[in-house]
Amino acid sequence: MIKQIWNIAALFFLMSLSVHANSIPDKIANVLHQSPPKQITQIREMGSLFSILVQVYDARLYRPIWIDDSAKLTANGKRLLSRLNEAQSDGLNPEHYLLDKLNTLAKETPSSDPIVLELLLTLSTMQFTEDLRNGRLTPGDLQMGLPILDNPVDHQAFFAAAANGEDPVKLIDAYAPQIHIYQAMRRLMHEWQGILHEGELTALQLSKTLNPEDPLPANFAAGILDRLALYRLPAPQSSDIYSTAWVDAIKALQKVHGLTIDGVVGKQTLTALNMSWDARIGKMIASMERLRWLPAHIPQQRFIIVNVPEFKLRAFNGALSDPELKMPVVVGKSYSRYRTPIFREVMKYVVFTPYWNIPNSILHRSIVPAIDGPEYFSKHYYEMIEHFSWTAKVHPPTPENIEKLKNGKLLLRQTPGAHNALGEAKFIFPNANHIYLHGTPAHSLFQQSVRAFSHGCIRVENVPKLATWIFQEQGWDRNKVDEVIASKQPKQVNLENEVLVAILYQTAVIDSSGDIFLFDDIYGHDEHMLRRLQQL
């Protein structure tokens, strides 16, 4: 009790000091316990961070962390400011951390306002680490179904460590996502910021489609070399002809943009190659922001990631590095009602050779208008039933029953088999969106570069391969999977060890080999996010 009384007395003593007190701790105390300077109040989350700022300095008896007795930045203070000045490499906005003001104050020796420099540097660091750890927006802000994670920043521990001489750069970087893709994106963004200052890349122009062995315009070739360097791709030797080496270079650029890899430079390829800096950087900013929504530590379990704009599935085993399995997928159409939602859930079971229980939305929008008689049902392997069950009674396609179907008194399903819209299996991770993975008889769709054709669910290219990966821990091999599928009987198999499924939306990706990919914003999610970020 006596100790607490002395602490309270010491606090009131500091608060009562004159604004003309000489020592730096006295000045810091006066600023914190009177009206804060305008420069400090401009920090975005000032309301929630200022009380923590007071606690940080109260615990230190108002001793500075970043300036010395002569009101100059310490070596650690300079390192910290230098790291904040790299905010753009993290896809963050320097204006949110008042870096213009900080840099102006830091350039003066000694600073004209050292107390503001000290406190603003601390407050900007608090905002920076919060943004770096949790993002500036949440999935809820953008109506996405990913969970909002609780990843608090321990500001007290951060500044205590920095005051004890620990490297503030390492302390900050520990709050950034530690996964490979984020770190690779940060390095690339750093490179791109340097190129960006040189201005836009020269626009590529062609008078007609460029095919192999055509004459190669010199200006076009020079522009291609710039873009190859941008994506760290090897450059071919100079040539007057669109030779094999140049065709291979264009194929590499088409791969970067998720285009059909044919080496022919038509309108679509030319548009992708002429992407503006704002568009390139925007994809990186949006993708880095979404990476902050993922858990700080990758779960030590098997998991599947579907990247919607890439039209690709990857399966991992406890580490987000090289996938154990990857394959193309078909996702929902770009119309709002058909878009594949962004969320994560746990896979519980797989149904082999399933019936397709046709949702009412598809039934009444697409099927009912096309019914032209009883033969329609046998042609498409449809059955009318009263409820969805493997043992449900099938009603014949009489005019009376067809009328009941149209009036919602009967349901419709498609029988199992090669014709079935769900293919050989459906992979169930129960969710409010009623979304699942499944096969498809329409394998030609996987040859398309843009694969947004479904009503929301995700079609996988190779059901047996995916099922073998899922059930390998239960002793299944490919022969076992093929045997179950060949039985042509619906069969539900529960997973003994659950598999996490995450449906994500990353228009920029860098894989473990360092290859860069930029994909179209097929649902406009990037555009919406970037607009919201500009409003902060």
pLDDT tens digits for 115-145? 999 999 999 999 999 999 999 999 999 989 9
Query: Taking 60 as the threshold, does the pLDDT of residue 271 lie above it?
Result: yes
Q: What would the two tokens of residue 302 be?
A: 């098997």
**Active-site residue, from 96, 438, 455, 525:** 438
- Please state the φ and ψ torsions of residue 171, each to the nearest 5 degrees: -65, -40
By three-state DSSP, how is residue 506 classified? coil
Q: 218-275: which CATH topology?
A: Muramoyl-pentapeptide Carboxypeptidase; domain 1 (1.10.101)
- Please state the φ and ψ torsions of residue 485, each to the nearest 5 degrees: -65, -40
Distance in angstroms (rounded) separating the CA atoms of residues 421 and 126? 52
Query: Residue 106: what residue type?
Result: A
Distance in angstroms (rounded) separating the CA atoms of residues 283 and 527? 9
**Concatenated DSSP letters for 16-49?**
TS-TT--SHHHHHHHHHHSPPPHHHHTSTTHHHH
Q: How many helices (H) and strands (E) does the chain have?
A: 20, 15
Q: Is the pTM of this model over 0.95?
A: no
The more confidently predicted of residues 199 and 311 is 311
Residue 347's pLDDT band, with cuts at 50, 70 and 90, is very high
Which pLDDT score, from 0 to 100, does residue 109 have?
76
Task: Kindly state the average pLDDT of the residues 439-460.
Answer: 96
Query: Taking 60 as the threshold, does the pLDDT of residue 460 lie above it?
Result: yes
Whether the upstream peptide bond of residue 328 has omega within 30° of 0, thus cis, is: no
The more confidently predicted of residues 7 and 110 is 110
Query: Taking 90 as the threshold, does the pLDDT of residue 213 lie above it?
Result: yes
269 contacts 260 by C-beta, under 8 angstroms: no
Pairing type for strands 343-352 and 425-428 reads antiparallel
pLDDT tens-digit profile of 470-514?
A: 999 999 999 999 999 999 899 999 999 999 999 999 999 999 889
Domains 218-275 and 296-534 share a fold: no
Which pLDDT score, from 0 to 100, does residue 8 have?
36
Which pLDDT score, from 0 to 100, does residue 243 have?
96
| Dihedral in degrees, nearest 10, Cα atoms 385, 386, 387, 388 | 10
Q: What would the two tokens of residue 399 be?
A: 């005019």
- The closest of 386, 363, 392 to 376, measured between CA atoms, is 363
CATH superfamily of 296-534: L,D-transpeptidase catalytic domain-like (2.40.440.10)
SS percent in the chain: helix, strand, coil, step 5: 45, 15, 40
Task: Kindly state the average pLDDT of the residues 379-403.
Answer: 95
CA angle, residues 405, 408, 411, in degrees to nearest 5: 60
pLDDT tens-digit profile of 138-177?
A: 999 998 999 988 889 999 999 999 999 999 999 999 999 9
Task: Kindly state the average pLDDT of the residues 224-246.
Answer: 95
Query: Taking 90 as the threshold, does the pLDDT of residue 380 lie above it?
Result: yes
- The closest of 318, 362, 371 to 456, measured between CA atoms, is 362
397 contacts 384 by C-beta, under 8 angstroms: yes
Percent of all residues in the chain with a pLDDT value above 70, rounded to a whole number:
96
Q: Is 457 a catalytic residue?
A: yes
Query: What separation in angstroms does the CA of 285 have from each of 129, 186, 208, 269?
Result: 16, 10, 34, 23
Which pLDDT score, from 0 to 100, does residue 432 have?
94
Query: Taking 80 as the threshold, does the pLDDT of residue 205 lie above it?
Result: yes
- Highest mean pLDDT (candidates 100-109, 189-198, 454-463): 454-463
Which pLDDT score, from 0 to 100, does residue 46 have?
85
87 contacts 128 by C-beta, under 8 angstroms: yes
Neighbours of 392 (CB within 10 A): 16
If you ran DSSP here, which 8-state letter would residue 450 be given? S
Which pLDDT score, from 0 to 100, does residue 20 have?
42
The CA R_g of the chain, rounded to the nearest whole Å, is 30
Q: Is 257 a catalytic residue?
A: no
Strand ranges (E), 119-245: none
Q: Residue ranges per domain, the chain?
A: 2-176, 218-275, 296-534
Query: Residue 12: what residue type?
Result: F
Which pLDDT score, from 0 to 100, does residue 93 have?
96
List residues bridging with 508 in a β-sheet: 518
**Active-site residue, from 257, 455, 457, 525:** 457
